[in-house]
Amino acid sequence: MESPKELFREWFERVWNQGDEAAIFELMHPEGEILGLGTTVMGREGFAGYHRAFRRGFSEILIEIVDLVGEDEAVAGHARFSAVHGESGREVDIFLSFAGRFEDGKLRWVRNVVDFTALLSQVGSIDPRAVNLLFEP
């Protein structure tokens, strides 16, 4: 059986970089839970629907793992996400963090920390200077 670190690498490569929806059903636990993507996604079917919608909004998706650490069934790391936003045609490039756990070789849960402010700024949905308003007296 592959190590959790190898499984995470496979998850990002097949599910995201290759767009292989069948890999979701192969690599994810039937009751898997994915948090931090703007909503909590439960189960393989739920994530497959999210994945399809996300891929309709972005093309040329590439997730590169920057670092990855693991202990037993748990894995955490950082990755670089780049893609082209379909509606605006703009290229995006952000970093994200993740931590997850496998159970019997299947992704049981993962928590993502995504810089949605940078993502929205890069697609032109918000003015990046708007964040500064939070810190003005």
CA atoms within 13 A on the CB side of 40: 5
**Quick check: pTM over 0.85?**
yes
| Other beta carbons within 10 Å of 62 | 13
135 is a domain residue: no
Residue 47 forms part of a structural domain = yes
- What per-residue confidence (pLDDT) applies to 56? 96
Q: How many domains does the chain have?
A: 1
Q: What was the pLDDT predicted at 60?
A: 97
**Domain range holding 64?**
4-130
Place of tokens 């955490």: 76
Structure tokens at 22: 């069948």
pLDDT score at 128: 77
The whole-number pLDDT of residue 129 equals: 79
Indicate which CATH number applies to the domain containing 55.
3.10.450.50
Report pLDDT for 10.
Answer: 96
14, 37 contact by CB (below 8 A): no
9 within domain boundaries: yes
The pLDDT averaged over each successive group of 10 residues in the chain (137 residues) is 90 97 97 93 96 96 97 95 96 97 94 94 87 76
Which of 49, 48, 55, 44 minimizes the C-alpha distance to 107?
A: 44
